[in-house]
């Protein structure tokens, strides 16, 4: 496992649409492991492959609960319910936070890392994370969706 180099604001790759994963092979498993390790190193809740420079539809999410990290390959949001203003940040936009309107619940279909097609009904933070990461796969970043006037820059620690 290795820490991958994050891509940051202004990097053109963040605006590109990621490609469907055709084959779940050893190389993809390594990417997934590296993404989880990278996400944890930077205390992220989610990470999309594009954020480490790989245009594949792969997402890792960890709510730091007892369930451990989840991996979504080729995720598709098939249903949303409700809407709320939530605080959001992004590893590709360090020290920037803003309010974004997200669904309170989503249903998403995805392939897990063993190749099984799955469905998840997510609420609250998990729903928010799935929406945020799927946006990344579509070349969209959270700062494009913020509630006007809510963007804050925090001074880095240290």
Task: Let me know how long the chain is.
Answer: 158
User: Which tokens in the block code for residue 155?
Assistant: 């001074």
Assess contact for 83 and 103: CB atoms under 8 A.
Answer: yes
Q: What are phi and psi of 147, to 5 degrees?
A: -70, 125
The one catalytic residue among 22, 133, 140, 157: 133
Assess contact for 84 and 102: CB atoms under 8 A.
Answer: yes
Which among 62, 63, 61, 59 is positioned nearest to 73, based on CA atoms?
59
User: Which tokens in the block code for residue 140?
Assistant: 């969209």
Is position 133 annotated as part of the catalytic site?
A: yes
Number of H helices, E strands in the chain: 2, 8
Catalytic positions are: 133
């Amino acid at each position: 496992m290795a820490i991958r180099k994050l891509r940051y604001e202004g990097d053109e790759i963040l605006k590109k649409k990621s490609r469907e994963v055709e084959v779940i092979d050893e190389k993809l498993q390594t990417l997934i492991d590296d993404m989880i390790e990278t996400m944890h190193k930077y205390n992220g809740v989610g990470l999309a492959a594009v954020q480490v420079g790989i245009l594949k539809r792969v997402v890792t999410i960890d709510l730091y609960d007892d369930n451990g990290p989840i991996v979504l390959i080729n995720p598709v949001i098939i249903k949303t319910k409700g809407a709320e203003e939530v605080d959001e940040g992004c590893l590709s936009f360090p020290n920037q936070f803003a309010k974004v309107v997200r669904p309170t619940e989503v249903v998403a279909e995805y392939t897990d890392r063993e190749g099984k097609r799955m469905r998840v009904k997510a609420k609250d933070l998990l729903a928010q994370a799935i929406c945020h990461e799927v946006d990344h796969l579509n070349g969209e970043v959270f700062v494009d969706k913020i509630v006007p006037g809510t963007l804050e820059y925090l001074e880095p620690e240290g």
